[in-house]
Amino acid sequence: MSEVKVSAFSVSLDGFGAGPHQSHENPLGVRGRELHEWFFKTAVFLARHGAAGGGSHGVDNDFAARSFENVGAWILGRNMFGPVRGPWLEDSWKGWWGEKPPFHVPVVVLTHHARAPLVIKGGTTFYFVTEGPEAALRQIKDAAAGEDVRVGGGVATIRQYLTAGAVDEVHLAFSPVLLGEGENLFAGINLPKLGFRPVSTTAGDGATHVLLTRC
């Protein structure tokens, strides 16, 4: 049965899933890149971004690989797609990933501003949904064709789906980093009341992987 999952989402030890002041120069916010060093080093990351060979194997790579298994569609927030704010004045921006995004499946982008679907080589199509998170989830579940839906971020988008009770499983990769500021994933959210419990904790080379499921 299709599930909604948050997978391989990097978090600092003090709970931040992104740094402050996102910009074209800092897509993940200031110091946000530090959260993802465990992932950037894996063979899975390099393969997904077109590199031939290389990258680390082991626990971190195994969790990176699992995060793409049985994923039939993604949901992203507007900031996760790019730094453009307000109406889409032009359609030249095609995401942080250029002509080769790593998704290869349909992707919904939550936005307040309509835009025509964007078809990219490799099987990725971005759909820009203005009717809100619930409508976006309904639409993308149909597109997933029975496979799982992965909520990729950013922090605000994941928080929306968590508090709505729409997420079945969460895999957090805790990086050994203290950001001190940015976007906090857990502020004001009571995970036990939402039905989540930890089911496994696994130490990797660059992150500690914690799996939560909703009862």
Q: What is the pLDDT of residues 11-54, one digit of tens each?
A: 999 999 999 999 889 999 999 999 999 999 999 999 988 777 78
Residue 119 CB-half CA count within 13 A: 1
pTM, to two decimals: 0.93
* 1 class by beta-carbon count within 10 Å (0-12 exposed, 13-18 middle, 19+ buried): exposed
Cα dihedral value 96, 105, 119, 129, nearest 10: -80
Distance (Å, whole) CA 197 – CA 214: 6
What three-state secondary structure class fits 37? helix
pLDDT-derived band at 88, boundaries 50, 70, 90: confident
Given the candidates 3.40.430.10, 3.40.50.300, 1.10.1060.10, 2.40.40.20, the CATH classification of the domain at 4-16+27-84+94-214 is 3.40.430.10
Domain chopping of the chain, boundaries: 4-16+27-84+94-214
